[in-house]
Chains A and B, each alone.
Chain A
Amino acid sequence: DAGITQSPRYKITETGRQVTLMCHQTWSHSYMFWYRQDLGHGLRLIYYSAAADITDKGEVPDGYVVSRSKTENFPLTLESATRSQTSVYFCASSPLQGYTDTQYFGPGTRLTVL
């Protein structure tokens, strides 16, 4: 199916474990983003990528690692999960860099860290 997909949709893990959240888009958009959504904070940018092999930190990058070996995939890894990383994670993509350009969001992954 065309669009932007995330997997898994729901994940429960334990403190200290490594977790990888997947994001896949079929539009060949250059830009991809990871956000986390927490009550009272709206969405906050974790990392973004301008193209394959180009990534940069956002507002809240600590504890997260990203990679982008292919244009269509942008996985987010929590190397050692903590309870404070319990959140809903959204991936987004955009065709261009301009500040007028729309970002298109995936359905989200709800992560619970016990």
Chain B
Amino acid sequence: AQSVTQLDSHVSVSEGTPVLLRCNYSSSYSPSLFWYVQHPNKGLQLLLKYTSAATLVKGINGFEAEFKKSETSFHLTKPSAHMSDAAEYFCVVSGAGGGNKLTFGTGTQLKVEL
């Protein structure tokens, strides 16, 4: 069994300040973890993924995430927010026992203010 909890449904930051979107996971197997971004009225785009290699994963558009097994977390960060980062972000888990079936978190809406 696997599950994902995104700890904040909404996050608001000012442009130029750091972004932190929090995600905790549960998996019976060695997990792969993904962050996807969804801009308004668009499909989902992969930001980054962890697949048991380096625990610090760098993605597109300056985002990165750190896999912490002891804390079962995979938080998404960015040093400096840009207006174009405003979107919904999904943390997703898949596990070795589940093939490529994905389990999605409920999403975090990121708002970026001037």
Contacts and interface: CB of A to CB of B under 8 A. Distances in A.
A40 B98 contact: no
Interface in B93-114: 94-96, 98-102, 104-107
Contact of B90 (A31, A42, A108): A42
Nearest to A101: B100
Contacts of B45: 105
Chain A residues touching B, majority SS: loop
Contacts of A42: 4, 90, 104-107
B100 to A, nearest CB: 5
Interface residues of A, number: 25
Nearest to A110: B41
Contacts of A108: 41-43
Contact of B49 (A45, A48, A102): A102
A100 interface: yes
Nearest to B98: A99
A30 to B, nearest CB: 10
B44 interface: yes
Nearest to A108: B43
A8 interface: no
Given A41-B106, A42-B90, A102-B49, A97 B43 contact: no
Given A45-B102, A105-B36, 6 more contacts: A43-B90, A97-B100, A99-B95, A100-B94, A105-B45, A108-B42
Interface of A: 31, 40-45, 48, 58, 90, 92, 94, 96-108
